[in-house]
């Protein structure tokens, strides 16, 4: 029931991440390492601001959005499950930095690594779903926590990979200006 609500915010974040990387791709094509680093720093700051904005907006609008799709407190079990799932997913929007770093890697000309990290994240999500839902009996909250945790872990590992694989991406103080 909540897929459309969640995708409004997630797809916006995906699109913005891809759009940010257009500048990076141009800097990569021009072989301008300082420009690539400045682009990365700017994208991190803009993505962080967007994350805060989207998280706040999504959590603020959660109850009205559930009403728009006819998920109301009159069906307490469904409403509670939908509200719990969406609230956890929206609170974890910051884990979407995964899409940002994958878009950044694509702009560097590396389209295989993001695919591998997506596969890793998917398998990890399935494993965490089984752990949290079947073993820990966390239900809908477990599914949402598994999704956010898998994306967050994948994000951290992907960032580490990017900075090890591409040492020229390591940011300097002047890159943040």
pLDDT of residue 141 exceeding 80, the answer is yes
- Per-residue pLDDT of 75-87, as tens digits, reads 999 999 999 999 9
- Per-residue pLDDT of 87-134, as tens digits, reads 999 999 988 778 888 888 988 899 999 999 999 999 999 999 999 999
Q: What is the pLDDT of residue 151?
A: 93
Q: What is the pLDDT of residue 87?
A: 97
Q: What is the pLDDT of residue 82?
A: 97
- Specify which of 6-10, 38-42, 132-136 reaches the highest per-range mean pLDDT: 132-136
Distance between CA 120 and CA 99 in Å, rounded?
13
Q: What is the pLDDT of residue 84?
A: 98
Instruction: Give the SS3 label for residue 70.
Output: coil
pLDDT of residue 138 exceeding 80, the answer is yes
Q: What is the pLDDT of residue 95?
A: 81
Query: Which residues 6+ apart lie within 8 Å of 112 measured at CB?
Result: none
């Amino acid at each position: 029931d909540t897929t459309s609500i969640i995708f409004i915010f997630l797809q916006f974040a995906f699109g913005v991440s891809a759009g940010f990387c257009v500048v990076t791709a141009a800097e990569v094509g021009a072989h301008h390492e300082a420009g690539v680093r400045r682009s990365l720093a700017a994208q991190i700051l803009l993505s962080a601001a967007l994350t805060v904005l989207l998280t706040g907006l999504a959590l603020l609008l959660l109850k009205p959005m559930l009403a728009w799709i006819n998920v109301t407190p009159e069906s307490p079990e469904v409403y509670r499950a939908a509200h719990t799932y969406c609230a956890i997913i929206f609170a974890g929007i910051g884990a979407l930095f995964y899409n940002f770093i994958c878009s950044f890697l694509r702009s560097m000309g590396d389209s295989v690594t993001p695919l591998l990290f997506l596969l890793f994240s998917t398998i990890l999500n399935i494993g965490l779903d089984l752990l949290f839902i079947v073993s820990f009996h966390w239900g809908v909250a477990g599914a949402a926590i598994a999704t956010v945790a898998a994306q967050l872990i994948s994000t951290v590992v992907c960032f580490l990979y990017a900075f090890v694989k591409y040492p020229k991406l390591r940011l300097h103080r002047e890159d943040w200006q």
